[in-house]
Chain A
Amino acid sequence: MDNTLPDAEALFADLKAQLASSIAFDAKLVGVFSGGAWLADRLKAELDGDHQVGYIDVSFYRDDLATNGLKSNVRSTHIPFSVEGAHIVIVDDVLFTGRSIRAAVNTLFDYGRPASVQLAVLVDRGGRELPIAADYVGVPLIVATDLMLALSKNDDGKFALTTEPWAAR
């Protein structure tokens, strides 16, 4: 673990506080696999209100199939509520190029027309390639471009941020 990285639990507490004071009582939380799904689960457990949770795997909506192929462990997108007219907060661990979020928004719209979509991320590492911005950010952070930043979950359920070189696949 890289101890120069911020404490993910502290970032989570901060992100949760931002959401608690802003989002609708019945806003739906949609986590992007894997990190965003863990965050959405924790937020549902710890936030007041009636927040249903859904999960998105953006693999089938990505734009880099030709260069990167289909990842080997695609998870099943599961949206157990009606998207139509819902206030939705997409939750992800790291916001970087914006391409995953573009794919997540497109996925959502194939389920219906939400009333609103917002974005909550634990870390915004800059580097955007699309006009996408987060509504709720744990922390903005500069990370070397040759490193992948991701959330991990320890055995006790606590979050940590880790970096590693981008995998070839």
Chain B
Amino acid sequence: MLSKKNLQLNDNGDLHHLLAIEGLPKRIIERILDTAESFVGINEREVKVVPLLRGKSIFNIFFENSTRTRTTFEIAAKRLSADVVSLDVGRSSTNKGETILDTIANLTAMHADMFVVRHNESGAPYLIAQHAAPHVHVVNAGDGRHEHPTQGLLDVFTIRRYKKDFTRLTVAIVGDVLHSRVARSQIHALTTLGVPEVRVIGPRTLLPADIERLGVRVFTSLEEGLKGVDVVTMLRLQNERMAGALLPSASEYFSRYGLTPQKLALAKPDAIVLHPGPMNRGVEIDSAVADGNQSVILPQVTYGIAVRMAVMAILAGATR
């Protein structure tokens, strides 16, 4: 079996699938960020479309629902002039017993060039990439608890836009790291780009036991962990974690780990606040922070289009 790393890169060392940030060389990440920079300008014009992917067919296959991520991939594909079809597979054939690979084989027979895949099982995009036709590219749009690489890339793109030099930064990731593919992708992106200190902050029940192995510092106190940081990433707290008895209540979580203006004041004065969305106001983040002048949450959404355009453009230009 091909290693994960080999599966993502072609023989020239170019990106062929985007499945995870883990194992991606720094030059690939930097190339995506640099290319995205050029797409930011396209998205600010009156005509927000370039003809680069004309004639290409991109299928968004969402085995797990996500309106927001699916929409940003759709917009990115359309702005590259690709033909894009979005499928909520969770509601269609798989309910009738069709396997993932049968679904993919059928779509490939319709001459698909790229699959954007979200699945609640970790590793599902790898399975698809392993069985995809040589000309077909796969983008992981979030798989289980594993990775959400385009989110990680748009996070570091946003950080670079505000902070320039990664090698001088301290970045804190706060909340439910255990269940967060966003956190995992961002940690790998930050460490690959040379961020010297990445902190994860959260209750022990929501931190993976072996998280230190990723090269991060662990804090269970938000106040301690936020001291002197340049960037704060707040993770979404999923309500079902409360039901699973990992946490007592939303209000208690907010009192200990919710980001308020008072707690944010412990970070550097020019610290920026990120959140992958959708936000739970009053659970992990106070509205005064979410809407405050240190928040870059909406710029993240804007840059997410440019980053996804860059990923699709680079993939479509790579051949086996």
Contacts and interface: CB of A to CB of B under 8 A. Distances in A.
A76 B35 contact: no
A68 B14 CA distance: 12
A68 B317 contact: yes
Interface string A36-73: 00000000000000000000010111100110111011
B38 interface: yes
A110 interface: yes
A69 B317 contact: yes
A78 interface: yes
Contact of B38 (A60, A68, A69): A60
B51 A106 contact: yes
Interface residues of A, number: 22
A69 B52 contact: no
B291 to A, nearest CB: 30
B313 A110 contact: no
A112 B313 CA distance: 24
B319 A69 contact: yes
Helix, strand, loop or mixed for chain A's interface?
loop
Interface in A75-133: 75-78, 106, 110-112
Interface string B40-51: 111001110111
Contacts, number: 58
Contacts of B313: 60, 65, 70
B288 to A, nearest CB: 35
Contacts of A112: 46
Contact of A111 (B34, B45, B53, B318): B45
B53 A74 contact: no
Contacts of B52: 59-62, 65, 70
Contacts of A76: 37-38, 40-41
Given A60-B313, A61-B50, A78 B34 contact: no
A74 B50 CA distance: 14
A114 to B, nearest CB: 14
B265 interface: no
A53 to B, nearest CB: 16
Interface centre among B37, B38, B47, B319 (most CB of A within 10 A): B38
B159 interface: no
B47 A111 contact: yes
A57 B35 CA distance: 12
B38 A77 contact: yes
A70 B34 CA distance: 12
Contacts of B40: 76
A66 B319 CA distance: 8
Contact of B35 (A61, A62, A68, A74): A74
B314 interface: yes
Given A70-B314, A72-B31, A74-B34, A60 B50 contact: yes
A70 B47 contact: no
Contacts of A73: 34
Determine which residue in A60, A61, A69 has the highest number of CB atoms from chain B within 10 A of its CB, and name it.
Answer: A60
B235 interface: no
B38 A65 contact: no
Nearest to B31: A72
A110 B45 contact: yes
Given A60-B313, A110-B45, A111-B45, A69 B14 contact: yes
Contacts of A62: 52
Contacts of A111: 45-47
Contacts of A68: 317
Nearest to B314: A70
A110 B81 CA distance: 13
B316 interface: yes
B69 to A, nearest CB: 23
A78 B46 CA distance: 13
Given A65-B313, A111-B47, 4 more contacts: A60-B50, A65-B53, A70-B316, A73-B34
22 contacts: A59-B52, A60-B38, A60-B42, A60-B51, A60-B313, A61-B50, A61-B51, A61-B52, A65-B316, A66-B319, A69-B14, A69-B317, A69-B318, A70-B52, A70-B314, A70-B316, A72-B31, A76-B37, A76-B40, A110-B45, A110-B50, A112-B46
